[in-house]
Amino acid sequence: MISFTETCRVSFRAIISNKMRSGLAMLGIVIGVGAVIAMLALGAGATAQIKSVMSSMGSNLLVIRPGTVTSGGIRIGAGSVPSLTLDDAKAIKAECPSVEEVLAQFNGSAQIVYGNQNWSTQVTGVTVGVFVVNDWKLTSGRPFTDQDMRSATKVAILGSTVARELFGYSDPVGEIIRIKKIPFQVIGVLESKGESSWGRDQDDIVMVPVTTAQKRLFGMHRPNMVSSITVKVKSEDLMSVAQEEVTLLLRQRHKITSFQDDDFTVRNMAQAMEAAQQSTKVMSLLLGSIASVSLLVGGIGIMNVMLVSVTERTREIGIRMAVGATSKDIMLQFLVESGMLSMTGGFAGVLFGTLLSRILSGAFDWQTVVLPGSIALAFGFSALVGIVFGLYPAYKASLLNPIEALRYE
């Protein structure tokens, strides 16, 4: 019985003696492992990005928007007709026990002017709950107050992009800007949030009190109406309860009977995040499965090389059997050779996949995350492929008759 150490040494010499053939056999494994790691890194990066965006928005949120409205027998598309009011937002906060804070918004766009500088941006009327609901923070200045809401005060808080475009890098707090030719005093600057998941600059915004937006800027013909209501629930465990409470309250306030459709829609952000994460998981598995096909191709390559090696080394096998090697020794030797080829290729594939992930991230601005689990999975699978596809050549070698093998030319 030949020792395992000696078997490894013989196998290593056999691989080294045919460098070109061994390198080509490993190439398929290298590409396969690299592709699996890169694809799984893309999927993990997409999942991480979704989590980041959702966490910045808050996962325990309900977003309420105007829904489908029927007027004169004609159904009008969702959001076409305003159906939510500031009073709805106040009622939700007052009457729904599972609700922590409520944000009512009234959106529009306008040209912002300061001196000889101007900038076109989104102007959003908000309630004081915006800082709790959307997790906004200020880098300078003060937030809106209840008095600002009651008095429809002409004050504004700037996003960092707007502040930079109008004021450069100086502090704009206390300065006067004009929105639709109406003077507003800047009372604060928002902390930067960067781009959203759909590529919109979240810092390109100006906030004003929602009552100011309704009465002075956009809502003169739609008093008390709001574009949307965002509800922050006390905990994620209460999301379903809060959604039911809000739905029942709004149906009651809007006098909707049991035979009528809601004139609003309630979107559960926790469910949206779960669905998005599930989609990325499925996509990651799909990409990984497609990439793993190249691993199987690499395994077939190893099997072909080992079969050729058995044929070429028939006389060597006969000599080893003649001096005492058993069929098990021969089989183990060829299994070790195929395992060495696949594991060496797997190690090189891990390096290639990690490098490929970084290249994709830099070239296409895609977030990639190389997880230790994906490395272990790809490397382990490559080793398994090498052993499985090496079994037949090893078995074939072990069945050779020593006398016939010695006569082989």
| Residue 114 near residue 165 (C-beta atoms within 8 A) | no
Mean pLDDT is lowest, of 148-157, 269-278, 320-329, 377-386, for 269-278
What's the distance, CA 280 to chain centroid? 7
Separation CA 111–CA 178 (nearest Å)? 8
Q: What percent of the chain has pLDDT over 90?
A: 17
Pick from 3, 20, 25, 6: nearest CA to 340: 25
> What pLDDT score does 206 carry?
92
* Average pLDDT value over all residues in the chain: 79
- Does residue 329 register a pLDDT over 90? no
Strands (E) across 133-276 are located at 138-141, 155-158, 176-179, 182-190, 205-209, 225-226, 228-233, 264-268
Q: Compute the residue count for the chain.
A: 409
Give the residue-averaged pLDDT of 213-239.
Answer: 82
β-partners of residue 229 are 64, 104
What's the distance, CA 31 to chain centroid? 25
Give the residue-averaged pLDDT of 81-87.
Answer: 81
> What pLDDT score does 143 carry?
92
Mean pLDDT is lowest, of 106-115, 259-268, 372-381, for 372-381
Quickly tell me which residue has 């990005």 as its tokens: 49
Tokens representing 219 are 């809502």
Helix (H) or strand (E) holding 327: helix 327-364
> What pLDDT score does 77 carry?
46
Segment 102-112, tens digit of pLDDT: 999 988 888 99
DSSP 279-310: HHHHHHHHHHHHHHHHHHHHHHHHHHHHHHHH
Segment 282-315, tens digit of pLDDT: 776 776 677 667 777 777 777 777 777 777 666 7
Separation CA 353–CA 362 (nearest Å)? 14
Separation CA 404–CA 406 (nearest Å)? 5
Give the residue-averaged pLDDT of 369-384.
Answer: 78
| Residue 212 near residue 179 (C-beta atoms within 8 A) | no
- Does residue 72 register a pLDDT over 60? no
Of the two residues 311 and 64, the one the predictor is more confident about is 64
- Does residue 348 register a pLDDT over 60? yes
- Does residue 58 register a pLDDT over 60? no
Q: What is the pTM of this model?
A: 0.60
Pick from 61, 154, 48, 50: nearest CA to 100: 61
- Does residue 280 register a pLDDT over 90? no
| Residue 166 near residue 114 (C-beta atoms within 8 A) | yes
**CA distance from start to end of the chain:** 27
Give the residue-averaged pLDDT of 225-234.
Answer: 89
Q: In Å, how far are 33, 50, 77, 165 from 338, measured between CA atoms?
A: 16, 41, 64, 63
| Residue 293 near residue 28 (C-beta atoms within 8 A) | no
Three-state DSSP state, 344: helix
Mean pLDDT is lowest, of 72-76, 130-134, 266-270, for 72-76
Quickly tell me which residue has 């009372």 as its tokens: 187
Separation CA 396–CA 314 (nearest Å)? 11
Q: Of 191-195, 211-215, 260-264, where does the model show the most confidence? A: 211-215
Separation CA 388–CA 386 (nearest Å)? 6
Separation CA 33–CA 350 (nearest Å)? 6
Segment 117-149, tens digit of pLDDT: 899 999 999 999 888 888 888 999 999 999 999
> What pLDDT score does 384 carry?
80
Q: In Å, how far are 109, 272, 380 from 51, measured between CA atoms?
A: 29, 11, 29
> What pLDDT score does 183 carry?
94
Give the residue-averaged pLDDT of 358-367.
Answer: 76
- Does residue 208 register a pLDDT over 90? yes
- Does residue 78 register a pLDDT over 60? no
- Does residue 193 register a pLDDT over 60? yes
> What pLDDT score does 163 carry?
92
Tokens representing 80 are 């076409």
β-partners of residue 189 are 140, 158
Task: Report the DSSP pairing between strands 99-114 and 176-179.
Answer: antiparallel
| Residue 387 near residue 342 (C-beta atoms within 8 A) | yes
